[in-house]
Amino acid sequence: MTFTRKDARHDQILLFCVMLCVAIGNTGLQSVLPAIGRTIGLPDALIAIAFSLSALLWAVVAPFWARRLDDRRAKPMVLIGMAGFTLSMMICALALTAGIRGWISAAVAFILFVIGRG
């Protein structure tokens, strides 16, 4: 199967839209997370640490994923990335929901949130 320039342009537009939605969601999460953390009983500093750790991890593993992208086609790698991001946000949402509802302690919610962000 061969792809035309029109197919490539469509893929670029789709990828841009997906990444825009991811960025909007991530920014929204950053703006409400301190309040959610306080509701659970976590200090703002721990929320900042969770975001800092995930940013550090993303920076450390970026060269690995860049090399993988060089060795493979882009589309499967984008799908892997989107699946990973979706799973990550689901773990974060479940951890925060469980913490807010009192199903788990603030410490466990924080640990699960950090794992999810990673």
pLDDT tens per residue across span 82-112 = 888 889 889 988 999 999 999 999 999 989 9
At residue 47 the predicted structure's pLDDT band, cuts being 50, 70 and 90, is confident
Q: What is the mean pLDDT of the chain?
A: 83
What is the DSSP secondary-structure string of 51-113?
HHHHHHHHHHHHHHHHHHHHHS-HHHHHHHHHHHHHHHHHHHHHHHHHHHTTSS-HHHHHHHH
Query: Which residues span the domain enclosing 40?
Result: 29-117
Q: Which one, of 22, 39, 28, 42, lies nearest residue 111 by Cα?
A: 42
Domain-located, residue 12 = no
Domain-located, residue 89 = yes
Q: In the chain, how many domains are there?
A: 1
Domain-located, residue 52 = yes
Domain-located, residue 11 = no
Domain-located, residue 43 = yes
Domain-located, residue 7 = no
Domain-located, residue 8 = no
What is the predicted pLDDT for the residue at 102?
Answer: 93
Q: Are 34 and 13 in contact (CB under 8 A)?
A: no
What is the predicted pLDDT for the residue at 111?
Answer: 92
Q: Which one, of 75, 45, 81, 46, lies nearest residue 62 by Cα?
A: 81
What is the predicted pLDDT for the residue at 63?
Answer: 85
* Sign, Cα dihedral of 47, 51, 54, 59: negative
What is the predicted pLDDT for the residue at 18?
Answer: 80
What is the predicted pLDDT for the residue at 57?
Answer: 86
Domain-located, residue 35 = yes
Q: What is the pLDDT of residues 13-39, one digit of tens each?
A: 877 888 888 888 888 888 888 888 899
Distances (CA, A) of 23 to 20, 56, 72, 101, 104: 5, 17, 25, 27, 29
